[in-house]
Structure 1
Amino acid sequence: MNGAVSQSLGWALLHLLWQGTLVAVALAVALRVLDRRAASVRYLLSCGALALLLVLPALTGWHHYVSLQKAEPLPLAPASLKRTAPVTQAPGFVLERAVDQRSPVAPLAARPTPVLERALPLLGEHMHWLVFAWALGVTVSSLRLLSGWLKLRRLVREAEPAPAEWQEALERLARRLGMSRPVRLLRSAALDVPAAVGWLRPVVLLPVTALTGLSARQLEMVLAHELAHIRRYDFTVNLVQTLVETLLFYHPAVWWMSRVIRVEREHCCDDIAVGTSGNAISYARALTALESLRVLPLGTASPAMSALGGSLTDRVRRLVAAPATRCSSRWVAGASLVTLMSGVAVAGPLVALALPPAPPTATAEAPEPPAPVSAPMAPAFPVPAAAPAPLMAPPAPPALMLAQAPAPAPAPAPAPAAKPMSSGKRDMDEDPDSDYDSDEDTTRVGDKPLSVDQLVALKVAGVTPERVKELESLGYEPTVANLVQFGHADMTPEYVKEMTASLGRKPTAEELVEMRHVGVTPERVKGLAAAGYGKLSADDLTQAAALGVDERFINELRSAGYDKLEFDDLVELRALGVNGEYVQALKAAGYDKLSAEDLTQFKALGVSPEYLRTLREAGFDKLPAEQVVEMRAQGVDAAFIRKLRDEGLDKLSVDELIRLRSSGVDADFIRQLRKKQ
């Protein structure tokens, strides 16, 4: 790297330490003033602050580089009159001690220099090591990012398409959110939280546990959250944010701002999901239910957008807290962004003051003319006495403007459908900790006057007087909860009658809503009955539709030799991704009489035909299923066996291999023991 470029880059990275601290303090003041429910404004300000941290070192480095390029050599002078100490240049300081050999004040050159004047030249001499350390850190961070990206792409490749019913539900939600781009819905057994991936071809990854552990309405709310990430282009913003983290990994302010951005991003998507469902309490319960289904750790940072990002406790507390004055209008967002980005304009003069133009570069062949004997010795580049004052004055205006930005003109009230919390009047003496929830509202329409919350919920669900009479004619109570749920599920009298006939009984309103959401149809019920599963409950039918257990899947397993499976076994096999192709591959490997439990364990532990083939090549053929499961669970594979054989252990049984592996005894341990002997 060119010397001037290396020096400029190094000083830019060093100056960012105090510049980034100032920006972080200004952002903290702004966030302190802003309402914590104004997620969109807080998110915009945080993104602007992080972008400013990327602009400031670029301005600083460019200013320093240009100053170096404009430096001119000094005029020649007789070498016999003056000896020049080596010149070391640092931003704002050029130290040059010119000692006249004929001057009686020559001993002044031995006076101690200030600490800063000694430290900066030393730092400038070793700047290339600082730049090298930064480049090494960027390389390590890039490798970590690349590893996470490759893992994410592998998850997408291995995921399976979700049931067609849920793909259609996702498309309906996307249309309600005003999205035109197609979004694929995939399910994966390797995930335990939903995630949104991609920009040009976005994908929503759905864990298998969410299909069976969440109600239909809760799952729709979670999907709305993921679609909100895609609609807001959060995946692209997150990639840029990760790039900034990689380049400026050494600065604590960068990591703090990134954490704030991720938290506020989840809050923004929460607001959109609540606006889609119309009830914040139900959405908070959906997040809590999704958290309870998690069994795997979150792992390292990933470009994917997850519904459980940020602190779940803080998000739920924010959702159920009393609504505050909104300040998320477009006027406020624009004014706040302009205010923060105006720091770029302030940063230019600030950098110019902190880094005065580089002085002329002196060389041994071109020394400066000797100063008069009576003149005091001074630095080659004098710094005016008044210069320090402007250095400290400019940081104040950005913080002040940031604090004043959230004071806009009154904004129009948001539409009722987008309000995350109900605003209707309720009797606080009855239950001060409760809030309106249409899921639990048993108020009959027509019995007494309805509250504002109830009227809004009914209107959003498309309830009309005809719908009320229709519900009564079907034999269901016309409560607010039933009407709202039936409206969101687009329930029709024909569907209710057909499902009643298919089940042989009258299903409850909650059962009808859940079955309707996941796509349970009379045809699907008849198909399952024709396949031998004719006495299923509404919950069983909901699970079957959510996971894709249908007549085709059952016949596929039957053709592979599994024709008398319990329904719970079918659900578990389908959830883990066991299909006819996998069963046939195991048969070809010699395992053609496995029970449903064995199949489940094989698939859950990753016992593949390739793994069985490597065991057979290592001399372990036709092992009982229990031993295969235990070996795979302990990590005994062909490579482990081969390394032990290289150390002389070539006649080990399965039990001995498992004992060695579980105890941590491997070929390296044996080799080290032999070296000690």
Structure 2
Amino acid sequence: MSAFIFALGLTLMHFLWQGLLLGCATAVALTLLRNSRAEYRYVVACAGLLACLCWPALELWQRLASDAAAASASSPVLPWMGDAFSDNITGFNLRDALRYVVSLWALCAAMLALRVVAGLLWIDRVSRQPASHPDHLRWERDLEQLARRLGITRTVRLRVIDALASPVTAGWWQPVVLVPAALVGGMPPELLQALLAHEMAHIKRHDYLVNLLQNLIETLLFYHPAVWWLSNRIRLERELIADDIAASQLGEPRRLALALSELERLRFSHHQLAQAANGGNLMQRIQHLLRPAPQALNWKAAVAMLGVAVACLSVYAQASAADKSASGFKPALIDFNSCAKPVWPDGAIAAQRTGTVQLEFKVGKDGKVKESSVDHSSGHPDLDEAARIGISKCQFKPATKTGKPIETKQKMQYVWTLE
């Protein structure tokens, strides 16, 4: 199996306990900051989710680097550890299991990636539609005024869409606000303006880029509940921050709260890669705008966190045991006392031939050399053949996998010098 697939499989397996640990640590930090500003909780949640990406990425890089270092190791006197043929091992095969795990992970990640791409294409298509609504120019002017008040220098486009139930924002360099036609015609203008102020707050904060990174992490680590919990918490705190910015610009938190209560009565759909005014818990956001109250510590949640911590330790123990089992390979070791000194070929000394020959051979389960060949020639066929005959007389201690002898490929160099 490919070294990359094996390393990736181990990394995905170890993230089971790593994700639990990061989720627990973030949950504790958010609990301590439950009565602080939403910006602080947002930063903590983002850091936790980013760590979910960086930790396994760093571990995968270290695994591949260590494998590459082992594969490139070569010495004149020590054998090079090559591929192991573990066909004699019966029972559970971790390598085969990891191959299936990686295949299933890749399939699911590809499907989620296609879903994200479909969302991007949908946003691009509807944002390119020509403006045809009769009130389009009026709301575009209001959007320009909001942009100036928030210090946004980029041009923000506005599109009125029929097949949409709530305003959404997409794009970073060329942002666009998509407004449902039903809201333009049915919601009081002052309430719709409050929702647009919320969308402009997302543009000011570049939330679209953070949401793109969230979708990437959700796609790669979709199998872990902690990733989805952290991502949902980021979206909740982000909406609270955008609400605060919009309310401060409007000077009327109550107006935005009324606009959110109108949205609560609508059946809306959430589009990936876009921030919408209906994100998060609407009732919680309304309460945050009107009557923010200190949150009491929920001790029942501590019991659940204790259970998660126990599960984290259990998964860590299982993953570590499996990792040790997977790496429990011991290479073949040469018994130098069994090796006779190579015989110089006739005429090689007289011609003063020297050089280094690298041999490739198999060490059987009995420790005997077989199927030897010249991997890199010394430049002299007679020296190459003499080295090949010499290595065939050596005895090795066979390589083992989980304590059982196995057949391995080896490489070793002979250096022919004249003193």
Residues 161 and 180 in structure 2, CA contact (< 8 A), matched pair in contact too: yes
CA distance in 1, matches of 2:167, 2:207: 15
Q: 1:228 aligns with which of 194, 198, 201?
A: 201
Q: Is 1:188–2:188 an aligned residue pair?
A: no
Q: Secondary structure at the match of 2:42?
A: helix
- Which residue in 2 is equivalent to 1:10? 9
How far did residue 259 of structure 1 move? 0.9
Q: CA deviation at 1:51?
A: 1.1
Contact 2:156 2:175 (8 Å CA) reproduced: yes
C-alpha contact 1:193 1:306 (8 A) present in aligned 2: yes
After the TM superposition, which residues 620-639 of structure 1 pair with which residues of structure 2 at under 5 Å, given as runs? Answer: none
Three-state SS of the structure 2 residue aligned to 1:205 is strand
Equivalent in the alignment of 2:228:
255
Q: Is the 8 A contact 1:42 1:264 kept in 2?
A: yes
Equivalent positions of 1:53-68 (< 5 A) are 53-68=52-67
Structure-2 change in CA distance of 1:127 and 1:355 (3 Å): closer
The answer to whether the aligner puts 1:308 opposite 2:307 as a matched pair is no
C-alpha separation in 2, matches of 1:186 and 1:275: 25
User: How far apart are 1:227 and its partner, in Å?
Assistant: 0.3
Call closer, same or farther: CA 1:197–1:288 in 2, change over 3 Å: same
TM-score (norm 1): 0.42
> What's the Cα RMSD here?
3.4
Question: How far apart are residue 354 of structure 1 and its match?
Answer: 10
Alignment of 1:349-360 (within 5 A): 360=330
1:322 aligns with 2:321: no
- Report if the CA contact (8 A) 1:228-1:273 is conserved: yes
Give the Å deviation of 1:124.
Answer: 2.1
1:91-129 CA-partner distances (Å, limit 9, x unpaired): xxxxx99xxxxxxxxxxxxxxxxxxx975xx21243222
Offset of residue 280 of structure 1: 2.2
C-alpha distance 322-200 of structure 1, shift in aligned 2 (>3 A):
closer
Distance 1:205 1:53 in 2: 32
Q: 1:146 to 1:53 in 2, by over 3 A?
A: same
Which consecutive residues of structure 2, in runs of 5 or more, have no partner in the other structure? 296-318, 333-361, 368-394, 405-419
For residues 4 and 324 of structure 1, do their structure 2 counterparts lie closer, same or farther at Cα, with a shift above 3 Å needed? same
1:32-88 deviation line (CA, Å, top 9, x unaligned) = 1113552111111111111111111112212222222333699899xxxxxxx9659
The aligned residue for residue 143 of structure 2 is 170
Say whether the 8 Å CA contact 2:166–2:268 is kept in structure 1: no
8 Å contact 1:210–1:290 — kept in the other structure? no
Which amino acid letter does the alignment assign opposite residue 32 of structure 1?
Answer: T
Q: How far apart are the structure 2 equivalents of 1:175 and 1:160?
A: 22
After TM superposition, the runs of 4+ consecutive aligned structure 1 residues lying more than 4 A away are 72-77, 85-88, 351-360, 365-371
Query: What is the letter of the counterpart of residue 260 of structure 1?
Result: R
Q: How far off its partner does 1:360 sit?
A: 4.9
Aligned pairs for 1:243-642 (under 5 A) are 243-292=216-265, 294=266, 296-298=267-269, 301-322=271-292, 360-362=330-332, 364-365=363-364, 367=367
Q: Where do 1:67-146 residues align within 5 Å?
A: 67-71=66-70, 122-146=93-117
Counterpart secondary structure, 1:249? coil
Provide the C-alpha distance between the structure 1 equivalents of 2:24 and 2:263, rounded to a whole number of angstroms. 36
Equivalent in 152, 156, 162 of residue 127 of structure 2: 156
Flag the structure with higher strand content. 2
Structure 2 distance, partners of 1:247, 1:24, is 17
How far does the alpha carbon of each residue in 1:348-370 deviate from its partner, in whole angstroms, 9 at most, with x for none? xxx99997888653463494966
TM superposition score normalised by structure 2: 0.66
Give the alignment partner of residue 175 of structure 2, picking from 190, 197, 202.
202
Tell whether the 8 Å contact from 1:219 to 1:286 is kept in structure 2 after alignment: yes
- Hey, what does 1:426 align to over in structure 2? none
Is contact 1:160-1:188 (8 Å) kept? Answer: no
AA matched with 1:170 = L
Deviations 1:238-290, CA, capped at 9 Å, x for gaps: 11111111111111111111111111111110111111122322221121123
How far did residue 164 of structure 1 move? 2.3
Q: Deviation of residue 22 (structure 1)? A: 0.3
* C-alpha distance in 1 between matches for 2:250 and 2:186: 19
Q: Which whole-Å CA distance do the structure 2 matches of 1:118 and 1:354 have between them?
A: 14
Cα deviation 1:120-166 (Å, max 9, x = unaligned): xx212432222111111111111222222222223223362653232
Rounded Cα–Cα distance in structure 2 between residues aligned with 1:76 and 1:32: 56
Give the match's secondary structure for 1:126.
helix
1:35 aligned partner = 34
Q: State the secondary structure of the residue aligned to 2:172.
A: coil
Deviation at 1:197, TM superposition (A): 1.4
Check the 8 A contact 1:4/1:68 in 2, yes or no. Answer: yes
Change (3 A) 1:358 1:214: same
Taking CA–CA contacts closer than 8 Å with sequence separation of 6 or more, which of the two structures ends up with the larger relative contact order?
A: 2
Instruction: For residue 185 of structure 1, report the CA deviation from its aligned partner.
Output: 1.8
Structure-2 separation of matches of 1:285 and 1:37: 25
User: How far apart are 1:317 and its partner, in Å?
Assistant: 2.0
Q: Distance in 1 between matches of 2:294 and 2:9?
A: 46
Once residues 186 and 7 of structure 1 are traced to their aligned partners in structure 2, the CA distance between those partners, rounded to angstroms, is 48
Identity %: 38
Q: Alpha-carbon deviations, 1:532-578, whole Å to 9, x = none?
A: xxxxxxxxxxxxxxxxxxxxxxxxxxxxxxxxxxxxxxxxxxxxxxx
Alpha-carbon distance change, 323 to 176 in structure 1, aligned in 2, over 3 angstroms? farther
- Quote the offset at 1:16 in angstroms: 0.7
1:59–1:285 CA distance, 2 compared to 1 (3 A): same
Q: Aligned pair count?
A: 310
Q: Which moved more, 1:221-230 or 1:59-68?
A: 59-68
SS class of match (1:206): strand
Q: Alpha-carbon deviations, 1:397-428, whole Å to 9, x = none?
A: xxxxxxxxxxxxxxxxxxxxxxxxxxxxxxxx
How far apart in 2 are the matches of 1:118 and 1:279?
A: 68
Q: Match of 1:576?
A: none
